[in-house]
Structure 1
C-alpha cells in the first residue's frame, strides 16, 4: 500500500470523432510528463468528443483505443483512465476504462445518461458502481452527468478518491465547480474532476476547470480555464485518515439501497 498517490490530470481539446488523432495527441502529452506518476486521467469520450454518432465511432474492447490504453499504461507504469464509445453485445456504452500497467481493465458504464441532448437514445445506461483497488487506494470512477446525483456517489464503501471524467460545457461550469467541491465534502474523500477544453463538432464550448479537492473541500490543484494543461498532484493517505478520525461524519450517514 502506498501512502502517496501521484496523479496527472490531462485537460485537453479533442479532435471531433477522430480516435486516431486523439490517441496521437494524448501520446504526445503523456510523453511530455517527465515525472513518475501512478495514474493518468483523460476526459470523457477522450477519443471522439461527446458525440451521439456512436455507430460511426464505436470501438470494441478488442479495438485500437483499448490496446493503446494498455500499451500506454505498460510503457508509463501508470494506470490510465478515461471514457470512450464502446459497442458491446449490440449496445453502445459511454464506458470508462481503468487500465493498469499489468493490462488489467476495470470498466464502468455511465449510469446517468445526459437526457438534455438525448444521450439515453443512443447509449445504454450502466447499472453498477465500481470501486477500483489500486496500490492500496480505493478509487470510485464516475462520468460527467453522474456528478449531479449525490446518492450514486455516496461513500458507502469508504473509498479514498472520487473521480469524474467529463465533457462539461461552459454555460454550466459554475455548477461543475460547486458540485465537485460538494462531493468531496459530503463523502470525506479526495474528489477529482477532469474536463476538456475547446469547441466540439456541434459548437459546444468547454472551459475545463479540472481540479482536485481534499476531504474538507479545499482546492489543492486546478487548471487554467480554457487552456490545454497537464497538472500533477500528490494525494496523501494520512490526510484522509487524520480528518476521518477527527470528524467521524461518515459514521452518521444515512443507510439506503439504490435500486
Structure 2
C-alpha cells in the first residue's frame, strides 16, 4: 500500500516566498499523515504572472533544490510544476523528485491558447514516465488532461500512478471530475490530481483535488478550501482489477 497526498491551496501570484512557505508546511503535514507521494498544484511557486514570469522563473532552480532537501528529509516523492527559464519565454515544468533525487522533468506539451499560454510559454516535446521508489509514475499538467492520448501512452509504457498538477477554474468543475475519472478507468491506474483553490488573479478556482482508483472510484476529494487530502493506493488491487478486466490485452492497435 502506498499513501498519496494532494496539496490544495490558493496560490499568491508573484509571491514566491509565501507560496514556498505554504508548500513547505503542507509537505510536513502530509508526511505526518504517512504520505509517500505528494502532488502540488500547477505553477504553485508563483502562479501565472504574465510579464513577470521570466523573472520569477529565475527562482525555480533554488526552489527545486530546497524541494529535493525536503523530499530527502521527509522521505517523499514530490510532483509539482514551476516556471523554467527558456530565453524570453518559459516552460511550465514538473520537477519529479524522489527522496532527494531529481527523477525527471516534464514540460507541459499542450498549452491553453484560450488564455494565451502559447504566447508566454514554450511547449514541451516529450513525456515523462519515472521509475521511482514507490512505483512507475507518469505526469501530465492541467490542460493535458483533455488529450487522452498522452495518458494512454504513459499507461502503455507501464505507469501505475498518474500525477496531475492543475489550475482548473470555475465553472468547469464537472468536466474536471469526469476527465479525471475517465483517465483512471480507461487506463486502470491511480490518478492523483492537485488543483488550486480560491481567487487567483481574475480567476476563481474550485479546488476539488482528487485521488482516484483504477476502477474510477474516488478515494479522496477536497472541497473548495486549502487542505491536504490523503489516500492509500493498493497496487495489488490494481493488478487484480487489470487481470479481471484485461483491457490492455484486448486492444487492437492495428485498427487505431
Whether 1:164 and 2:161 are equivalent positions in the alignment is no
Whether the aligned pair in 2 keeps the contact of 1:23 and 1:68 (CA below 8 Å) is no
Residues 253/103 of structure 1: CA separation in 2 closer, same or farther (3 Å cut)? same
| Corresponding residue of 2:37 | 39
Higher helix share: 2
**Residue equivalent to 2:244:** 246
The 1:212–1:78 alpha-carbon spacing in structure 2 relative to 1, beyond 3 Å, is: same
Aligned to 2:181: 181
CA gap 1:56/1:129 in 2 versus in 1, 3 angstroms: same
Q: Residue deviations 1:131-187, cap 9 Å, x none?
A: 111125111111000000001111221311112110000111211011000001111
Pairwise CA RMSD: 1.7
Equivalent positions of 1:105-254 (< 5 A) are: 105-154=103-152, 155-201=155-201, 203-224=202-223, 226-254=224-252
SS at 1:240 equivalent: helix
**After superposition, what is the alpha-carbon deviation per residue over 1:193-222, rounded to whole angstroms, capped at 9, x for unaligned?**
110001112x10001111111111111111
Which residue number in structure 1 is paired with residue 58 of structure 2? 59
| TM-score, normalised via structure 1 length | 0.91
* Structure 1 stretches lacking a partner, 5+ long: none
CA contact (8 A) 2:3 2:37 kept: yes
- Greater than 6 Å deviation, 4+ residue runs: none
Whole-angstrom CA distance in 1 between matches of 2:62 and 2:39: 18
Counterpart CA distance in 2 for 1:189 and 1:93 is 27
Q: 1:51 to 1:254 in 2, by over 3 A?
A: farther
Q: Output the TM-score relative to the length of structure 2.
A: 0.92
Equivalent residue, structure 2, for 1:27: 24
